[in-house]
Structure 1
Amino acid sequence: MREIYYSYTTDELWLIKETHWDVFLQNIREAQFSLGNGYLGTRGIYEEIPYDAMPGTYITGLYDKMGSQVDELVNLPNPINFKFTIEGEKLDLVAMDVLEHKRVLNMKKAFLVRHTLYKDTKKRRYDYQSLRFISFHNKNIGVMQIALTSLDKDCIVDINTGIDTSVSNQGILSEGRKRHFRIRELGQAHNAGYLIIETLERKHTIVYWSGFYYEVNGKKIFAEHNIFRLKLKKGQTVIFTKIFCIKHFPYKENHLSYKKQTFKIFYKAFCSDFSTLLKNHLKMWEKLWRKADILIEGTANLQQNLRFNIYHMLTCLHYNDGFSSIAARSLTGEGYRGHIFWDAEIFLFPFYLFNFPQVAKNMLLYRYKRLDKARELAKREGFKGAKFAWESADTGEEETPEWSKDFDGTVIKIYTHKQEHHITADVAYAVYKYYLATGDEEFMRKFGLEIIFETARFWASRVECNKRKDIYEIKNVIGPDEFHKNVKNNAYTNMMAKWNLVVAARLFEKFKKEKPSVYKRLKEKVNLKEKEVKEWQRIAPKIKFN
């Protein structure tokens, strides 16, 4: 059987391959083969949703807490849902014999290609091929195409697609599985289906539109329903193309305008050729890789591994005026509940800073817009200034769960949010690095200086004076290894605290001298006295560091 999408699977240095079906690796592959555009992310599930599959559709920054310990990234209804049944036998990797199977993630083009050869209980073979992508050209749009051929006999195929609302977030510990949305409206119109949901606590409104058409012998037919039956002759290939649109809005009782607005976006894509949608998507990824690709010497797998990491950083690239940042697991699943950690500022930030500075700026705006909450957290624990949450979601409140499972499955109490305070200096560090790399004075005037001053205040109140030794110590912390608790004078934490105080004092003096109007405004806004800055200068060199 001819491989329809073969031309997209030939450049080995850009491909991650799955060469056989392994049920025990299914959930790992779903994360590895995820697709995304920074706004919308989908796990690399199989279209037929085999047993134990974990579908995941996520919009960056959409969290909800109802039914769980803490806020978590909402798993939204699954649009990648396309099932075929022939005489009661489902085309499915678990349910049917698999003669051949492969999937390929093309990282250069950011789409997922599949080719599976099935055999049913009557020894009839079916060739199944698919390609799908989440558009980077239009970030509300996803596109999938499936080619099905009956190789041995004529058959009647039952098709079942649409938007699957049975999904839920994973159950953790005693929570059980939970669904963070309710359905407000669903129906059919204009040869397409629509779904309107709202999240339970935050009440975000999310609108879906989805439609598909199929082509047999070059004739395009728009499907009127999500469930129907189709006759297929031996050797005849039918190509299904499904296009979906997902967009979120703030809550509004009457969502008609949201429904219309999303339909316009959807209908423009729905009326476009598959080749046009794909071409526009590929152009955007070509631009991204032109900036981000890194060529290295060595074996091919090293180049692939490097590009795999870059690819996943590109799939969560976005700027939305600080509405959200980049989670530890990006949009590949519900690991760490979609929370923002210090990873964002220390590990991810440099990549964006030197390739996509607008994204780096957005990550810092995310922190600034939660600075008031960081002030509350510091005050709540008896400190001054601002203390950023160890795990953050949409509000900046501390979202670290009190309990979790360890690697061996035992339930353990979590202390990171109470002791891993270095994140506060990590945020300040990223702000200063952004300033050095971009020279963005406006950002510093409006946002950056305030973060650096308030985090310095926190450290000045967090240190403890050892009068006998004439030093300052930081006790009862967890360092960046994230495991050893109640550590005294952790090297990383102490050095970052010292750095934070030194840089804050230097910037205070710099802007006092060079930008007196900015200095005066900010000094009044945060009620910062020169006496306080001198205290920072006195404390910093005396912070213990081994």
Structure 2
Amino acid sequence: MHKKDFYSQYTNDDLWHIKEDGFDPEIQNIREAQFSIGNGLIGARGVLEESPKGAVPGTYMSGIYDRMTSQVAELVNLPNPFHFKFTLKGEKFGAVTMDTLEHHRVLNLQHGLLIRKTIYSDIKKRRYNYQSIRFLSMDNKNIGVMQLVLTPLDDDADIELQTVIDVSVHNAETMTEGTKRHFHTIEMRPYDHTNYMVVETLEKHQKIVYHSGFYYKIGRNKKFSSSRVLSLKLKKGQPAVFTKVFYISSCGDKESDLKKEKKRSTTIFQRTFKTPFSKLLKNHIDAWEKLWKTSDIVIEGTAEIQKNVRFNIYHMLICSHFDNGYSSIGARTLSGEGYRGHIFWDAEIFLLPFYAYTNPEIAKNMLLYRYKRLDHARKIAISRGYKGAMFPWESAGTGEEETPTWAKNLDGTIIRIKTNELEHHISADIAYACCQYVEIANDLDFLRKYGYEILLETARFWASRVKHNRQGHFEIRDVIGPDEFHEHVNNNAFTNMMAKWNLLTAHNMFLELKKKGPKTFKALKTKLNFSDKEVAHWKSIGTHIVLKKRKDNVIEQFDSYFRKRYVKITDFDENSIPLLPKGIRVKDYQTTQFVKQSDVLMLLYLLSDQFDKKTKEKNFWFYHERTLHKSSLSAAIHSIIALEAGALNLAYQFFNVALHADISNLHGNTAEGTHAASLGGVWQNIIHGFAGVKMTKDGLSIDPKMPTTWRSIKFTLHWKGNLLRIETKNNEVFLQNDSKKKKVNVTVFGHQHELSGTKKYLFQKNKITKQEGYY
């Protein structure tokens, strides 16, 4: 009997592993999203190899969209390379088709591995030990590998296996459309013990190239096969090891593009296919360990919190890579088709800070994606009667507006979507993200080549969007804020203040560029055709934009918000999330003060320097009583402002809501993909909230406010070309600048200090001590 766990060395660290024990068909689609693997270029849902009934296989390439059979562009679900089936005299191996005596899966977050062990029993009660491991290489992002081990435990076995790339997959059904396939196969053939296939998207005619190779080993004999179906005799207790290596890439719509890619990919794949499995795995693991060196957060306190934090970070790591702005990150990452893979403001406001501080090249890539679609943003502005650049609410491959017309509301009713028409704050959000990235990375080259243009063109949009009122102020009318419960509102506080920030920042940068960068200034002025008078008007608008608040400094979310009906929240679910009071229906939201997420708290977070502690306290408690948290974007920001308001217990409570959004399927739709905004929000909640790291007008500041159950938080940040290793406790901060030749100023507990390269420091409320060998 052979019950060896072949991959046990990758499954025994509880701080790094997410586990599934037993197979439940009711939650398999949730598990598929949670157990996704990826490398940023390719993402694959954690579907079982046999794709049991009800499974939703998903293989996605970043930036590959198609709209031919749908009303808007969708992230294309491509052929599934992890498809693998065994049969025994017509009896299919599978979690549904056979008796499953044991079933375990482990998602190894540290190394990007999905590992499985299942013990099957056939109709004659004979048992089979089935194990598998798979990964999408973080070393070579076109490569994926899967290895399976099958051992008959009670008798010899005649098995048949099928290891094709499954082209029967399709994109998920939507409310107004059935299932659809966005590609067709244009070439498929075997060559040199491997297989080659090309599929083509229906609208853009993009070519997706697949290479796959398969070999198996029984005992010491290693054999190659390009057959789609293979029959084998296995001895009792003798493991048979099956290895599949594949390559996926994309190219343009021209025959010459395909010819070049075929030649290039064949060379790479053939070299890879000859590389031993152990070497491919090691290269992949080494690449992951390098990533975690700057991405990990180590929390000494609760093991469950530690593991779930890493789960959130892992899902941000598997959906990001640098491709010179060809793609960005959708609201459901590469783990599902929620929101059709579209890119929202989630990318810049919730995800980008994580990348800017841990892997700046990725943050730059996200902004290059926006810059390369700036012309489409200009076209959208013109089509709406505005000037400058107006970015789409939902974007995909081209930068055109991709918001669908209809969707299901929270209560299941069909509603018309108006966000593309009215939710305009995204243009300011993107400008904000540009400045945030430049400040963190000190990337002045990006600012000169791309950032100024985005900032100036979005400011020009806002200048054309405002209306001058009789009181001499400027208003922004008929919008939707992040709180999407209320439509067609005037002077939404978040929209107005972000537009104000955009206008004044563009004005100030214009003057600075004119003075310090005359060559860049002249080129931009010629390209964009703006004048000193136009930019001076931006300052006038920005300083006179409406922001309404009560005498106690509670900010009115929009005009007449305070006149809306106040309904007291009295009941909460098991996660302390408010339940809708009796008698209130979803369609009643517009008439009440209930908010989906608090626009005002988001405003206090992003423009924190502009508001004092008292203002934050007043607004937190006011909007806390009115926020239903019906968006995955809500909880993390709510937690951070709760900290600033001194509500430490509530801060920890809402942090846990954000942390468990996907690992516990709190919103009931993780099956459609992990929630990108919540993933990024959790990271910000820890770093900018509990660890107290803030980017202020004076630079980086650290003043932790940690949960009492946490002893310390350790993390690494990139800051202006320096690599800072930081450990925070409530009364202590350890710091080391790993950059040998640079010095950096950091404010700790309200006092500014200069850190010399490679030295280690301990800060304790006005004290500083060198720490030798702490890290």
In which range does the TM-score fall when normalised by the shorter chain? over 0.9
Aligned residue identity for 1:253: E
- On the 8 A contact 1:470/1:542 being kept in 2, the answer is yes
Mapping for residues 405-416 of structure 1, pairs under 5 Å = 405-416=408-419
Matched, 1:335 2:338: yes
Instruction: Name the structure 1 match of 2:664.
Output: none
Farther-moved stretch of structure 1 (281-290 vs 246-255): 246-255
CA distance in 2, matches of 1:257, 1:425: 41
SS state at 1:519 partner: helix
Instruction: Name the structure 1 match of 2:270.
Output: 267
Instruction: Name the structure 1 match of 2:460.
Output: 457
SS state at 1:30 partner: helix
Instruction: Name the structure 1 match of 2:291.
Output: 288
Mapping for residues 354-433 of structure 1, pairs under 5 Å = 354-433=357-436
Instruction: Name the structure 1 match of 2:469.
Output: 466
Matched, 1:189 2:188: no
SS state at 1:296 partner: strand
Instruction: Name the structure 2 match of 1:63.
Output: 65
CA distance in 2, matches of 1:524, 1:125: 75
CA distance in 2, matches of 1:406, 1:78: 32
Shift of 1:487: 1.9
Shift of 1:162: 1.3
Instruction: Name the structure 2 match of 1:250.
Output: 252
Farther-moved stretch of structure 1 (472-481 vs 257-266): 257-266
Instruction: Name the structure 1 match of 2:440.
Output: 437
CA distance in 2, matches of 1:124, 1:136: 39
Instruction: Name the structure 1 match of 2:77.
Output: 75
Shift of 1:256: 4.0
CA distance in 1, matches of 2:226, 2:363: 45
SS state at 1:197 partner: strand
Instruction: Name the structure 2 match of 1:2.
Output: 4
- On the 8 A contact 1:185/1:196 being kept in 2, the answer is yes
Farther-moved stretch of structure 1 (527-536 vs 259-268): 259-268
Instruction: Name the structure 1 match of 2:44.
Output: 42
Aligned residue identity for 1:272: T
1:162-186 CA-partner distances (Å, limit 9, x unpaired): 1111111112123211111111110
Aligned residue identity for 2:216: Y
CA distance in 1, matches of 2:302, 2:478: 45
Please point out which of 88, 99, 102 is paired with 1:100. Answer: 102
Please point out which of 234, 237, 240 is paired with 2:239. Answer: 237
1:407-463 CA-partner distances (Å, limit 9, x unpaired): 333221101111110100000001111221222222122111010001001111111
SS state at 2:246 partner: strand
Instruction: Name the structure 1 match of 2:222.
Output: 220
Instruction: Name the structure 1 match of 2:643.
Output: none
Instruction: Name the structure 2 match of 1:22.
Output: 24
- On the 8 A contact 1:33/1:44 being kept in 2, the answer is yes
Instruction: Name the structure 1 match of 2:516.
Output: 514
- On the 8 A contact 1:214/1:221 being kept in 2, the answer is yes
Q: Which runs of 5+ in 2 are unaligned?
A: 549-775
Matched, 1:448 2:451: yes
Farther-moved stretch of structure 1 (402-411 vs 129-138): 402-411
1:481-507 CA-partner distances (Å, limit 9, x unpaired): 233211221111111011000100000
Instruction: Name the structure 2 match of 1:476.
Output: 478
CA distance in 2, matches of 1:170, 1:304: 31
- On the 8 A contact 1:116/1:129 being kept in 2, the answer is yes
Instruction: Name the structure 2 match of 1:135.
Output: 137
- On the 8 A contact 1:162/1:193 being kept in 2, the answer is no
Matched, 1:504 2:506: yes
Please point out which of 521, 536, 540 is paired with 2:538. Answer: 536
Q: Which runs of 5+ in 1 are unaligned?
A: none
Shift of 1:121: 1.6
Matched, 1:524 2:526: yes
SS state at 2:255 partner: coil
Aligned residue identity for 1:110: G
- For these two proteins, the number of residue pairs brought into alignment is 545
Instruction: Name the structure 1 match of 2:662.
Output: none
SS state at 1:437 partner: helix
What is the CA RMSD across the aligned residues, in angstroms?
1.1
SS state at 2:481 partner: coil
CA distance in 2, matches of 1:242, 1:407: 43
SS state at 2:369 partner: helix
- On the 8 A contact 2:480/2:486 being kept in 1, the answer is yes
Instruction: Name the structure 2 match of 1:318.
Output: 321
- On the 8 A contact 2:112/2:288 being kept in 1, the answer is yes
Runs of 4+ in 1 over 3 A off after TM superposition: 254-257
CA distance in 1, matches of 2:107, 2:480: 38
CA distance in 2, matches of 1:224, 1:341: 42
Farther-moved stretch of structure 1 (30-39 vs 298-307): 298-307
- On the 8 A contact 2:74/2:341 being kept in 1, the answer is yes
SS state at 1:283 partner: helix
Aligned residue identity for 1:412: I
Aligned residue identity for 1:6: S
- On the 8 A contact 2:195/2:226 being kept in 1, the answer is no
- On the 8 A contact 2:37/2:136 being kept in 1, the answer is yes
In 2 relative to 1, CA 256–441 (structure 1 residues): closer, same or farther, beyond 3 Å? closer
CA distance in 2, matches of 1:257, 1:361: 28
CA distance in 1, matches of 2:18, 2:481: 35
CA distance in 2, matches of 1:109, 1:412: 43
Query: Structure 1 length normalisation: TM-score?
Result: 0.98
1:182-238 CA-partner distances (Å, limit 9, x unpaired): 111101111111111111111111110111111111221112412011011111110
Aligned residue identity for 1:367: R
Instruction: Name the structure 2 match of 1:84.
Output: 86
Instruction: Name the structure 1 match of 2:151.
Output: 149
CA distance in 1, matches of 2:544, 2:401: 30
Instruction: Name the structure 1 match of 2:487.
Output: 485
Instruction: Name the structure 1 match of 2:174.
Output: 172
Instruction: Name the structure 2 match of 1:162.
Output: 164
SS state at 1:198 partner: strand
Query: Structure 2 length normalisation: TM-score?
Result: 0.69
Instruction: Name the structure 2 match of 1:208.
Output: 210
Percentage identity across paired residues of the two chains? 56
1:317-357 CA-partner distances (Å, limit 9, x unpaired): 21111111111111111111111100000000001111111
CA distance in 2, matches of 1:48, 1:407: 34
- On the 8 A contact 1:378/1:458 being kept in 2, the answer is yes
CA distance in 2, matches of 1:499, 1:257: 47
CA distance in 1, matches of 2:443, 2:142: 31
- On the 8 A contact 2:170/2:182 being kept in 1, the answer is yes
